Structure 1
Amino acid sequence: MVTIYDIARLSGVSKSTVSRVLNNHPYVSTENRMKVEKVIEELNYVPNSIAKQFRQKQTKCIGILVPDINHPYFSQLVGSISSECNRRGFKTVVHQTFSSKKLEREVYTQLRNRELDGIILTSSLLSEEEIAECTQKNLLVACNEDFSGNYFDVFCLNEENVTFEATTYLLNKGLTKIGFCSDNIDTPSQQARLRGFILAHDKNGINHTKDYLFNQISTIENGITLGKRLFRNRLEIEGIIAGSDFVAAGLIKSAEIHDIKIPQDFSVIGFDNHPISLATTPQVSTICNRIKDMSKDLVDHMANKMNGLKQIPVKKIYNGKIIIRESN
């Protein structure tokens, strides 16, 4: 096995010079750099990255915890976070928990064993205290979920406020029988949305209808099935906060099948401002979720902490924005 000692001997320079060349250190003369690179090429030398990582006590690898990569929002979020990690020189490993507490805890074990430099947590059914106990002060940053920020860093959208605004918009249009969709009502983010939905009704002196709260609705197929249930039975519901643009697209397709006119007979507001919201007829009114801003900020924050930044946990909250199109 070729070592840096062999490269140093054959190139006629010191071991420290070889090390500086391998680590792209600026303080190496052009002549010596060329000597070392020539020997490296001749010997087809590949640095032992595992040993290097062990010496540096960093893997340069970030774990991203998601419940389901097939979920439209989480696939979009993972893509954005992975891009930002790549920009900062980190590799990413995506772990799907399928909303299993056991699988989630197994990933935290990898973090404690230093197999990962840090974890970006996008969703959890564990409490903040349980997560903190599992991670034992190793680097974890939560995004998407509205945790308190008392135990670890949190970057999240103000889901309660933007859902309040979207619901209020429909109520101000004269709709009084509005539905609400969630993908998993037990998560902090979905609970925040539900609070905003209920608060908008309370502020307007209108009772929300519990029969119009729909859980486990996240895909186009779910939207089509829900639409079939709503439109075939001619329920009195007048509009819906769909929870995602994919659900909204499914509802619009189902409305077409059942001869329900949107927005004349039924109004729809999606969530996430996914490109699919532009592909339906009519186009979906939606909510911008600030994924790009959140991804950049949280990855930069993680990089700073890995480089020695010491501070108490931070919580950064982003304001969403309603984008009005044709579906209401």
Structure 2
Amino acid sequence: MTRISEIAKICNVSKTTVSRVLNNHPYVSKEKREQILKVMEELDYAPSSLARNFRTNKTQTIAISVPSFDHPFFAQLVKGVSLAALENDYKVLIFQTFYDAKNELDVMGKLKNREVDGVILGALENEWNVIKPYLKYGPILLCNEYHHSASIPIIGYDEFEATYKAVNHLIEKGHRKIGFCYDTSYSQAQGQRKEGFLKALADHDLLHNDDWIFGHGFSIEDGFRICDEIVKLKEKPTALFTGNDQVAAGIIKKATALGYKIPECLAIVGYDNQSICQVTTPTITTIDIPIMELGQRTVIELIKYLNEDLKLKRDIIKLPTELKIREST
């Protein structure tokens, strides 16, 4: 394998001069630079990324952790992150935690060992006091997640406001018995959604029913299960905020098969505005969120801290959401 010393000898320059050309530094004449680049091309020289990383103390690699890559939301989020990273000459390592706190700590280990320059957490599986010590090794950002005291940038949506307008829409359609679904893990972001749900009910003097609160709603199969739970209830909700388009699609499919008319018997509002919303029968009313933009914005924020050597600080960035009204309400 060709070495810098060989190139330097052929060009009759020092190894420092060759290194300056490799790193695009000044103080090398145009003629000498062109000569060195020509010799590199002739020898098919490829600089060692490990050596370059050692000199700059950077890997040009960032990590993102998500609970599950096969969910449409996280697939789009990762796509947005990857595109923005590529545009800024960064590589991306993708980790699936499967909602396991130990797997999330494996990602933190990559940061501690200088295998990545920074980390994006698409969910938060550990308590914040477990993650916080890793900040001394590099920047960590929360994306699509919220924490009331984390001293880092948080990029997401106004979960409270989005849920409030979804539930308010159901109330405006005449519903008084409204249920609520939350995600597989009851995070603080999910807590904000529940607060929005309860506030919308309270503003219209409506009470919530604990029997109409359904947990572990993440997939289409979860929608099937939740529909079965609703059917068994003596007093049933007439409307449901599912918090997830996959769950909404599952409920619609199962309820329709059981003879329930949507939205006459059960109105449904999803969350994310995935493609599945437009192919179900009926189509799904949902909260539209800019998922790709979320991933891209998070990478831009992370690179800002990496390149400008800024001190990490708490900064909450909320992207806009919009209620998309379709046939399920």
Structure 2 residue 126 is matched with structure 1 residue 109 = no
Q: Check the 8 A contact 1:231/1:258 in 2, yes or no.
A: no
Q: Check the 8 A contact 1:157/1:290 in 2, yes or no.
A: no
1:118 aligns to what?
A: 118
1:213 aligns to what?
A: 213
Return structure 1 stretches of 4+ with deviation > 4 angstroms. Answer: 24-34, 231-235
Cα deviation, 1:24-83, whole Å, max 9, x if unaligned, reads 568866654553344323323221101100110001111111122223322221221122
Query: Structure 1 residues 43 and 137, CA, compared in 2 at 3 Å: closer, same or farther?
Result: closer
2:3 aligns to what?
A: 3
Output the CA distance in 2 between the equivalents of 1:99 and 1:296.
Answer: 23
1:300 aligns to what?
A: 300
Output the CA distance in 1 between the equivalents of 2:194 and 2:328.
Answer: 21
1:17 Cα deviation after fit: 4.4
Structure 2 residue 247 is matched with structure 1 residue 250 = no
Matches within 5 A, 1:186-201: 186-201=186-201
Output the CA distance in 1 between the equivalents of 2:279 and 2:232.
Answer: 24
1:260 aligns to what?
A: 260
Q: Check the 8 A contact 1:129/1:151 in 2, yes or no.
A: no
2:45 aligns to what?
A: 45
2:86 aligns to what?
A: 86
2:151 aligns to what?
A: 151
Q: Check the 8 A contact 1:132/1:152 in 2, yes or no.
A: no
Output the CA distance in 1 between the equivalents of 2:25 and 2:291.
Answer: 35
1:280 aligns to what?
A: 280
Q: Which stretch of the first structure deviates more once superposed, 130-139 or 296-305?
A: 130-139
Output the CA distance in 2 between the equivalents of 1:149 and 1:317.
Answer: 16
Output the CA distance in 2 between the equivalents of 1:325 and 1:29.
Answer: 65
What letter is aligned with 1:257? A
Q: Which stretch of the first structure deviates more once superposed, 214-223 or 136-145?
A: 136-145
- The alignment partner of 1:136 has SS state of helix
2:178 aligns to what?
A: 178
Cα deviation, 1:212-231, whole Å, max 9, x if unaligned, reads 11111111122123224434
1:233 Cα deviation after fit: 6.6
1:325 aligns to what?
A: 326
Q: Check the 8 A contact 1:185/1:191 in 2, yes or no.
A: no
Cα deviation, 1:243-302, whole Å, max 9, x if unaligned, reads 211111112211321222222222111111111111212211111222233222221121
Output the CA distance in 2 between the equivalents of 1:271 and 1:313.
Answer: 27
1:236 aligns to what?
A: 236
Output the CA distance in 2 between the equivalents of 1:268 and 1:165.
Answer: 14
Q: Check the 8 A contact 1:175/1:239 in 2, yes or no.
A: yes
Output the CA distance in 1 between the equivalents of 2:185 and 2:66.
Answer: 16
Q: Check the 8 A contact 2:111/2:137 in 1, yes or no.
A: no
Output the CA distance in 1 between the equivalents of 2:57 and 2:276.
Answer: 43
Cα deviation, 1:177-201, whole Å, max 9, x if unaligned, reads 1121112342111111111111111
Output the CA distance in 1 between the equivalents of 2:251 and 2:310.
Answer: 48
Q: Check the 8 A contact 1:121/1:140 in 2, yes or no.
A: yes
Q: Check the 8 A contact 1:232/1:258 in 2, yes or no.
A: no
Q: Check the 8 A contact 1:146/1:157 in 2, yes or no.
A: no
Taking structure 1 as the reference length, what is the TM-score of the superposition?
0.91
Q: Check the 8 A contact 1:241/1:268 in 2, yes or no.
A: yes
1:20 Cα deviation after fit: 4.1
Q: Which stretch of the first structure deviates more once superposed, 259-268 or 154-163?
A: 259-268
Output the CA distance in 2 between the equivalents of 1:13 and 1:132.
Answer: 48
Output the CA distance in 2 between the equivalents of 1:325 and 1:284.
Answer: 6
What letter is aligned with 1:323? K
What letter is aligned with 2:5? Y
Q: Which stretch of the first structure deviates more once superposed, 317-326 or 224-233?
A: 224-233
Q: C-alpha root-mean-square deviation of aligned residues, in Å?
A: 2.3
Output the CA distance in 2 between the equivalents of 1:68 and 1:94.
Answer: 10
Cα deviation, 1:76-118, whole Å, max 9, x if unaligned, reads 2122112211111111111222222222223212212212100
Q: Which stretch of the first structure deviates more once superposed, 56-65 or 142-151?
A: 142-151
Query: Of the two structures, which has the highest relative contact order with CA contacts closer than 8 Å and spacing of 6 or more?
Result: 2
Count of aligned residue pairs for this structure pair: 328
Taking structure 2 as the reference length, what is the TM-score of the superposition?
0.91
